[in-house]
């Protein structure tokens, strides 16, 4: 089994991003902006040829205004002095409905039997005026996920 990562940016719509940022601003007034990116973790059997990779990329790209990459833009631009990068995704001990549906779609294509699981996490890059304390970073992270289903 192999796991491959694909990144999609932007992930959340402008309205949802503004809503989350407003909630985070209650934790610290030092926050300047919020950027988001999806990370798809694709678990598959064997290797995928170029046509299968192209099909998988096409399936994972939901709209025309987003781009699917093999490297994270947010991880690349993160500067620990003025940024906090938080990744929120499903707990690994169970498969989500998203994964079940995505694998079913893959099984209806030339990827039948190859893709075993697809999970999606969200990367949040929180930009601030100055370096945030570990306590503030923890408070920010706790605002971004559901403790019961995400980590």
So where are the chain's domains?
Answer: 2-144
Q: What value, to the nearest 5°, has the Cα angle with vertex 34 and ends 57 and 135?
A: 120
Q: What is the pLDDT of residue 142?
A: 86
Q: Give the whole-angstrom CA distance, residue 120 versus residue 58.
A: 16
Closest CA to 54 of 95, 92, 111: 111
For residue 3, give both structure tokens. Answer: 């796991």
State the pLDDT at residue 148.
62
Of 17-21, 71-75, 76-80, the range with the lowest mean pLDDT is 76-80
Q: What is the pLDDT of residues 78-111, one digit of tens each?
A: 877 788 899 998 887 888 999 999 999 999 999 9
pLDDT in tens, 112-137: 999 999 999 999 999 999 888 889 88
pLDDT averaged over every residue in the chain: 88
pLDDT of amino acid 64: 66
Mean pLDDT across 8-28 = 89
pTM greater than 0.85 (yes/no): yes
Spatial neighbors of 138 by CB under 8 A, at least 6 apart, are none
| Alpha-carbon gap, residue 54 to 108, rounded angstroms | 15
pLDDT tens-digit profile of 37-74?
Answer: 999 999 998 888 999 989 998 898 877 667 788 899 89
Q: What is the pLDDT of residue 150?
A: 58
Which pLDDT value is given to residue 143? 87
């Amino acid at each position: 089994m192999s796991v491959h990562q694909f990144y999609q940016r932007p992930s959340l719509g402008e309205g949802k991003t503004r809503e989350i940022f407003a909630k985070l601003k209650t934790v610290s007034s030092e926050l300047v902006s919020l950027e988001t990116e999806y990370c798809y973790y694709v678990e598959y059997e064997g290797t995928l040829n170029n046509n299968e990779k192209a099909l998988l990329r096409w399936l994972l790209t939901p709209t025309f205004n987003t781009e699917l990459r093999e490297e994270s833009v947010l991880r690349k631009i993160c500067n620990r002095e003025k940024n906090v990068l938080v990744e929120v995704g499903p707990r690994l001990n169970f498969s989500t409905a998203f994964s079940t549906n995505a694998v079913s779609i893959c099984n209806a294509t030339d990827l039948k039997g190859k893709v075993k699981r697809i999970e999606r996490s969200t990367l949040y890059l929180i930009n601030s005026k100055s370096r945030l304390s570990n306590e503030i970073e923890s408070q920010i992270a706790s605002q971004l996920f559901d403790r019961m289903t995400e980590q």
